[in-house]
Chains A and B, each alone.
Chain A
Amino acid sequence: MSNTASPGSTAPLIDAETLSGAADTLPPLDSPEVVAMHRRMRRRANRGRIVTYAAAFAIAAWILLPIYFMFSMAFTTQETVRSYPKNILPFIPFSIDTMTFFLESEGVLRGLWNSILVASITLVLSTLISVPAGYAIARYLFRGRDLFRLSVLTVRAFPIVVLSIPLAVLFLRAGVFDSLWSLALMHTALALPTSILVISSVFASVPYELEEAGQVFGATPLQSFRHIIVPLVLPGIAASGLFTFVLSWNEVFAAAVLTIDNRTLPALLLTSLANAPDEFQFAGSFFLMIPSIVFMFFIRRYLFNMWGQVSK
């Protein structure tokens, strides 16, 4: 009787005794009971799948529709942006009117360029520093390794706000205030912990045996690193670099605190929120979103490397 227990029953009815004799007492696979059970399970699985798909599409809509609306506001006429009531979503007229207005506003092109510069410097600096550190964590057992890992983890969780103001005061004292370089230095400090952890997990995912094998076949350690490891880890390092770029591109608090004339795009947007017209803000946030929308496509596989390993 144990093997006909319906899937819905509450208590598991199998005990050790019946299990041991289960093979003899199992009904043939085409018996009516088994067929009925299979049908019930399939029906339940189907119902479950429908619910899953419904949830998936609903959540995707919740995330994508606002982006879509924002983009259609960034690419329409200024009159449409100000009009009320607006036509509902797909019927917003397309135009590059808002976009040209935004790009021709004072300081915008320079802000975009500043953002690109700061994000690029941050990318290069943080990659240069975090590749060796990530390699060390992944490949060497050394005294202080756990301490280093733990401090990097702690540093990542620290609030940006706490760091920006004293850094601004220090930069002011050192006479490098309001410079793109000092902002990039700050962004590197913010990106470094994540970058180190991601890159170490990328290195850890390449077995050390591969490196050893290269050396067995006569390559020097450096050669085997260059020809075996580098091609394997390059995509992961590129993903971490892209993430760093996006982080710097988005960062607004430190950018607003550390710059005055050399505003990056987010800092410019933030400080002009109060007096800029809506279409300026909408077109600006389009530019804020573009890198992440493009880059997230390439780095989505590495997301779990980035955030997953914290829990281990």
Chain B
Amino acid sequence: MTRAKTWRRRLVPYLLIAPAVVYLALFFAYPMYEGLVLAIYDDDALLPVRGSPALGSDEVAKIPQGTALAVLDRQSLEMADDGATDLLTDEWFRVAGTGAGGVAVEGWVPETRVRVREQDTSGAPQAGTVRPRLGQSVDPLTVVHAEPNDRSAVVGRLEQRAPVTISEVAVLEVWFLVQPAADAASAAGWAPSRYLQVFDDGESGRVHRGTAGEFTTAFIERMVDDRFFGPALRTTLLVMALLIPVQFVLALIMALVIHSRIRLSSGFLYAFSLPIGMSDLAAGILFFSIFTGNGLLNSILDGLGIIDGPFAFLTAENTNWIIFAIVLAELWRATSIVMVILVAGLQAIPDETLEAAELFGASYQQRVRHIILPLLRPSIQVALILRTILAFQVFAVVIALSGGDVVTVLANESFRQYFDLRNNNVASAYALFILLLSIASAVFYLRSVRAESEVRAT
């Protein structure tokens, strides 16, 4: 009884966290994994071709997507009605009529061999006549098969123009016997038309898409070769390098101001923390309103007589100004978060420590330099990691200030690949790259700070 009760009590916390764990697994861990797969795994890289034209038959080879093919033969086969598009079909009719020699014949003929004369209300063929075959050397009779398939047994022959009733229509998909064009020695195999692109000559084609996946670096290569990749990476790192030092100095000043408990400090805290809840898009538009041609900055500069007429800050010729505006917008928006982390760190420093330092005659600068900063180290480390990771994600600010073409960043490229180019795989490759950079910078900060404290200890 009591044991059961303890057990139940032990289970309580797990039950309490279960929804969160399940949710994060479902909407966080699983998509993360999927993202990784998208970036390095090509779902339709390889097309398996089969020994005979049937889905169940043995695979004889796998041909990579895009390979040029020689088409050796074709045959139509019954297919599942799966709504697939991009395929070549043949129609066969099940017909009944009087065959050559006056015997009744019932079986399948290709749609091309029958001229439909009667249809029911829904348009389904009901009756028709057998088309004549032209030319002298060909057999004038039309062959009737046991199944809707060229290779099935012949059950009879029909005279040309013989009337037939049509009882059934079968839609068949064409299969092709293909072989890589460059390698005549390789095995030939059958594949359905939906995965192939057969050219007009009927003798050559290429693999349109495959059904078997393969790990590939193709998406990553395409990302690296993309003409926006270099500029995006450079701008991201440049913005980060310009932003983070200034941001930390400003955040430290803000934190010290808040911590000094001056009058109105609650009001100042409100003002200082306002940007925490601001969207990056709003911040971007805010600074767009300042830097744009007829914006605030030009109005002020013009009013002061510094410039004569508006200066176009945010144009392709002035990318440096765009980057400057991006850095300012990010400084405006994201410094407050650093401030809050630093204030929380400051609150953890005992007042006695600072009072003692003051008593011993340390000036304010000395106290900041020798007491506050060292004691803030863990907070600074956390804030650095957070800020750096956020800096890799700068996105809407850049679009608002540059339109996303003149100056671009990594997150923007991921968005462009997804949104404009509809290339999920390369978009995921960008996302993966951002993730790796984030992890690398976090590890770097953790390592470098630990190393310093070890040096200190010895």
- Tell me, yes or no, whether B47 is within 8 Å of chain A by CB: no
Residues of chain A contacted by B254 (CB below 8 angstroms) = 59
B262 touches A129 (CB 8 A): no
Most chain A CB within 10 A, of B20, B393, B403, is at B20
- Tell me, yes or no, whether A20 is within 8 Å of chain B by CB: no
Q: How far is the CA of A188 from the CA of B393 in the complex (A)?
A: 19
Q: How far is the CA of A225 from the CA of B16 in the complex (A)?
A: 15
Min CB distance A34 to B, Å, is 14
By secondary structure, the B interface counts as: helix
Which residue of the partner chain, among B30, B286, B395, contacts A252 with CB atoms under 8 Å?
B395
- Tell me, yes or no, whether B166 is within 8 Å of chain A by CB: no
List CB contacts (< 8 Å) of A261-276 with chain B.
266, 269-270, 273-274
For this complex, 10 residue pairs linking A to B, each with C-beta atoms less than 8 Å apart, are A52-B257, A56-B257, A60-B268, A66-B287, A85-B298, A136-B17, A158-B435, A159-B431, A300-B266, A311-B341
A66-B286, A163-B32, A167-B31 known; A310+B341 contact, CB < 8 A: yes
Who on chain A is nearest to B295 by CB? A86
Most chain A CB within 10 A, of B15, B285, B363, is at B285
Which residue of the partner chain, among A48, A53, A166, contacts B34 with CB atoms under 8 Å?
A166
B292 touches A295 (CB 8 A): no
- Tell me, yes or no, whether A235 is within 8 Å of chain B by CB: no
List CB contacts (< 8 Å) of B409-431 with chain A.
411, 414-415, 418-419, 424, 427-428, 430-431
- Tell me, yes or no, whether A116 is within 8 Å of chain B by CB: no
A288-B279, A308-B344 known; A69+B396 contact, CB < 8 A: no
Residues of chain B contacted by A300 (CB below 8 angstroms) = 266, 269-270, 273
Residues of chain B contacted by A219 (CB below 8 angstroms) = none
- Tell me, yes or no, whether B282 is within 8 Å of chain A by CB: yes
A52-B262, A85-B298, A308-B343 known; A257+B277 contact, CB < 8 A: no
- Interface flags for A141-176 (1: CB within 8 Å of B; 0: not) read 010110010011001011111111111111000000
A70-B285, A142-B13, A189-B24 known; A169+B38 contact, CB < 8 A: yes
- Tell me, yes or no, whether B146 is within 8 Å of chain A by CB: no
Q: How far is the CA of A137 from the CA of B12 in the complex (A)?
A: 11
A159 touches B281 (CB 8 A): no
Most chain A CB within 10 A, of B274, B332, B337, is at B274
A69 touches B296 (CB 8 A): yes
By secondary structure, the A interface counts as: helix
A157 touches B31 (CB 8 A): no
Q: How far is the CA of A86 from the CA of B399 in the complex (A)?
A: 25
Min CB distance B23 to A, Å, is 6
A162 touches B281 (CB 8 A): no
A281 touches B288 (CB 8 A): yes
B272 touches A88 (CB 8 A): no
- Tell me, yes or no, whether B35 is within 8 Å of chain A by CB: yes
- Tell me, yes or no, whether A8 is within 8 Å of chain B by CB: yes
Q: How far is the CA of A270 from the CA of B395 in the complex (A)?
A: 10
* B contact residues vs A (CB 8 Å cutoff): 10, 12-17, 19-21, 23-24, 27-28, 30-32, 34-35, 38, 250, 253-254, 256-257, 260, 262, 264, 266, 268-282, 285-290, 292-296, 298-300, 302-303, 310, 332, 336-337, 340-341, 343-345, 347-348, 360-361, 363-364, 378-379, 381-382, 385-386, 389, 392-393, 395-396, 399-400, 403, 411, 414-415, 418-419, 424, 427-428, 430-432, 434-435, 438, 442
Most chain A CB within 10 A, of B257, B262, B438, B442, is at B257
- Tell me, yes or no, whether A101 is within 8 Å of chain B by CB: no
Q: How far is the CA of A274 from the CA of B13 in the complex (A)?
A: 50
Q: How far is the CA of A193 from the CA of B273 in the complex (A)?
A: 21
Q: How far is the CA of A281 from the CA of B279 in the complex (A)?
A: 14
A310 touches B382 (CB 8 A): yes
B35 touches A162 (CB 8 A): yes
Residues of chain B contacted by A217 (CB below 8 angstroms) = none
Min CB distance A290 to B, Å, is 10
Residues of chain B contacted by A136 (CB below 8 angstroms) = 12-14, 16-17
Residues of chain A contacted by B400 (CB below 8 angstroms) = 273, 281
Further 9 A-B residue pairs, CB within 8 A, beyond A85-B294, A129-B20: A56-B257, A129-B23, A159-B434, A161-B411, A167-B27, A289-B278, A292-B279, A296-B270, A306-B340
| Stretch among A23-31, A206-214, A243-251 lining the B interface | A243-251
Q: How far is the CA of A53 from the CA of B262 in the complex (A)?
A: 8
A60-B271, A88-B303 known; A165+B35 contact, CB < 8 A: yes
Which residue of the partner chain, among A10, A83, A161, contacts B294 with CB atoms under 8 Å?
A83
Number of A-B contacts (CB under 8 A): 300
Min CB distance A250 to B, Å, is 3
Residues of chain A contacted by B343 (CB below 8 angstroms) = 304, 308
B389 touches A159 (CB 8 A): yes
Residues of chain A contacted by B430 (CB below 8 angstroms) = 161
Min CB distance B14 to A, Å, is 7
* A contact residues vs B (CB 8 Å cutoff): 5-10, 12, 14, 48-49, 52-53, 55-56, 59-60, 62-64, 66-67, 69-70, 73, 82-88, 128-130, 132-133, 135-137, 139-140, 142, 144-145, 148, 151-152, 155, 157-170, 185-186, 188-189, 192-193, 196, 243, 246, 249-253, 256-257, 266, 269-270, 273-274, 278, 281-282, 284-285, 288-289, 291-293, 295-297, 300, 303-304, 306-312
A66 touches B16 (CB 8 A): no
A288 touches B289 (CB 8 A): no
Q: How far is the CA of A277 from the CA of B171 in the complex (A)?
A: 54
Which residue of the partner chain, among A48, A85, A270, contacts B281 with CB atoms under 8 Å?
A270
Which residue of the partner chain, among A243, A253, A297, contacts B411 with CB atoms under 8 Å?
A253
Who on chain B is nearest to A70 by CB? B286
Min CB distance B289 to A, Å, is 6
B31 touches A163 (CB 8 A): yes
Min CB distance B5 to A, Å, is 13
A295 touches B38 (CB 8 A): no
A252-B395, A289-B278 known; A165+B418 contact, CB < 8 A: yes
A307 touches B344 (CB 8 A): yes
B403 touches A273 (CB 8 A): yes
A165 touches B424 (CB 8 A): yes
Residues of chain A contacted by B28 (CB below 8 angstroms) = 155, 158, 163, 189
Q: Which 10 pairs across A and B sit closest by C-beta, in order of nearness?
A: A308-B344, A292-B277, A250-B279, A84-B294, A166-B35, A140-B13, A136-B16, A133-B20, A189-B27, A132-B16
Most chain B CB within 10 A, of A144, A151, A169, is at A169
Min CB distance B315 to A, Å, is 15
Residues of chain A contacted by B24 (CB below 8 angstroms) = 151-152, 155, 189, 192-193
